[in-house]
Amino acid sequence: MIIIMKPNASKEAVSRVASIVESRGLQVHLSKGDEVTIVGVVGDKSKLHGSNIEISEGVDKIVNVTESYKLVNKKFHPEDSRIPVGNTFIGPGSVTVMAGPCAIENNRQLMETAVAVKKAGATFLRGGAYKPRTSPYSFQGLEEEGLEYMKEARDATGLNVICEVTSAHAIEAAVKYVDMLQIGARNMQNFELLKEAGKSGIPVLLKRGLSATIDEWLNAAEYIISEGNPNIVLCERGIRTYETSTRNTLDISAVPVIRAKSHLPVIVDPSHATGVRAYVEPLAKAAVAVGADGLMIEVHPCPSCALSDGPQSLTFDQFRTLMDDLKPFARLVGRKL
Ligand code: PEP
Ligand code: MN
């Protein structure tokens, strides 16, 4: 439940309400907006029976939060969150572009890509060091060696860097090298991994599971935030449907739906959503137009030589053109790109 304070409620009134809640063994999450303060209550609300909290000074009304996710819920935190990551923020006002190869293959491939995507205007370099491949015989990633290349690219270009983690061991390694952890679609409901990411203390990009509903996705984010890590960004990357023309089906409606249900930023990955290079550009434009907080796009120096996801990867030239073409879309929605 949430306790909505009156617009003129004093600080003392808010603290009094918070201490009543805490004295009953419940957790308090304060959200101070320009107009009103909301006291979010996490735990078994029946413990508040008999507390008369609804008539406590400064309380306007009490609203039950019926969804099972609380801390990522918009009702708990009506203002959209801006998430600090590396040297920047992800959220309202900007379109953050994360670009790079599907997999880190060698130092030169990563460094060349980093320089090219930075020049085109990306602020994040992506690249997989731990690859959750469908087949165990496909390239599985360079692991810690790849993370070292990521850090070198970061130091050389000033880009923020993000890598997918697939195990607690990978998290332990990655926190030494990257600005943001990525939890991939296949691990969205790996609850132990989500808890470890929550404990890691660094920002997390949480991709939507292949067949996950939006509520399941938000509950997965709740696992991370409930371990004390509020720095979460969601990523829509397409879902499984009966359609086979594209690798997945981009659920563009997820952007406004997330915006309505949660305060967390949401970005879109048109590369994994489609699996087809030619569809990346139109869907990237659609994502910006619909209000996404950013994009994740696969770029490779030689897509036809790529060890993974070549068919959906853009060349450097294609990426540069895309970035230029996206600018008017960002301007239309009042965001910087
Ligand atoms: C990736 O971003 O490298 C990736 C594997 O994506 P997803 O988890 O969305 O399939
Ligand atoms: Mn990929």
pLDDT of residue 34 exceeding 90: no
pLDDT, residue 107, reads 98
Distance CA 233, CA 207 (A): 9
**Which ligand 1 atom sits closest to the C-alpha of 182?**
2
Q: Which atom of ligand 1 is nearest to the CA of 238?
A: 9
Q: Centre a 10 Å sphere on the Cβ of residue 23 and count the other Cβ atoms it contains.
A: 10
**Ligand 1 pocket, Cβ-based, cut-off 6 angstroms:** 102, 128, 164, 184-186, 207, 237, 269, 272
Q: Provide the sign of the torsion angle of the four alpha carbons 315, 320, 321, 326, taken in this order.
A: positive
C-beta of residue 19 within 8 angstroms of C-beta of residue 25: no
Task: Kindly tell me if the per-residue pLDDT of 163 is higher than 90.
Answer: yes
Does the structure show a pLDDT above 90 at 35? no
Kindly report, residue by residue over 105-119, the tens digit of the pLDDT. 999 999 999 999 999
Measured CA to CA, the distance from residue 162 to residue 86 in angstroms comes to 10
Report how far ligand 1's centroid is from the alpha carbon of 297 (Å).
11
Given a cut of 90, whether residue 33 has pLDDT beyond it is: no
Q: Give the Å distance between the CA of 261 and the centre of ligand 1.
A: 24
Give the atom of ligand 1 at the shortest distance from the alpha carbon of 132: 5
pLDDT average, residue stretch 74-95? 97
The pTM (predicted TM-score) of the whole model is 0.96
Q: What is the whole-number distance in angstroms between the Cα of residue 69 and the centre of ligand 1?
A: 24
21 has a pLDDT exceeding 90: yes
What letter represents residue 289's amino acid?
A: A
Closest CA to 232 of 243, 218, 246, 242: 218
Which residue CA neighbors atom 5 of ligand 1 most closely? 184
Across the chain, mean pLDDT equals 97
pLDDT of amino acid 195: 98
Q: Phi and psi (nearest 5°) for 66?
A: -80, -25
List the structure tokens of 111: 């460094």
pLDDT computed for residue 290 by the predictor: 98
Smallest CA separation from ligand 1 atom 6, residue: 184
- Measured in angstroms, how far is the CA atom of residue 187 from the centroid of ligand 1? 10
